[in-house]
Amino acid sequence: MNSKQKGKRGELEFCSKMKEYGYNVRRSVQYNGSTTEGQADVIGLDKIHCEIKRVEKLNIYNAISQAKADHKEGELPTVFHRKNNCEWLVTMTLEDWIKLYKSYEGDK
């Protein structure tokens, strides 16, 4: 299977998981029919730039660098990733996590 097909499968799996939680997300390729440099893999989570990685060996620093390079103003660059037989994980910089946590504290 080529890397585009693997990427597609990971993105579809992630979308399915997010829909279980009630979020209306979709692959960005589905939305506009093509891939564009700097575009999130999945769209529909407000203020989050979603980079999806479904691989056995992930260089997380490269993945977060890609998300940081591609995100738009006002979005938090975030990598959602998992390997076989493991749960989904979320990676972002500490600075961005602090922004989320401070927002959560303000909602209490």
Q: Distance (Å, rounded) from C-alpha 77 to C-alpha 22?
A: 21
Domain ranges, residue 54: 3-107
Chain centre distance of CA 61? 14
Q: What is the chain's mean pLDDT, rounded?
A: 90
The model's pTM: 0.87
Helix (H, G, I), strand (E, B) or coil at 34: coil
Beta strands in 1-108 (DSSP E): 26-27, 42-43, 48-54, 76-82, 89-91
| pLDDT score, position 1 | 62
By CB atoms closer than 10 A (0-12, 13-18, 19+), residue 71 is: buried
Residue 105 banded pLDDT, cuts 50, 70, 90? confident
| pLDDT score, position 30 | 53
The total domain count for the chain is 1
CATH number reported for the structural domain that contains residue 56 in this entry: 3.40.1350.10
- Residue percentage of the chain with pLDDT more than 70: 90
The string of pLDDT tens digits covering residues 35-85 is 555 689 999 999 999 999 999 999 999 999 999 999 999 999 999 999 999
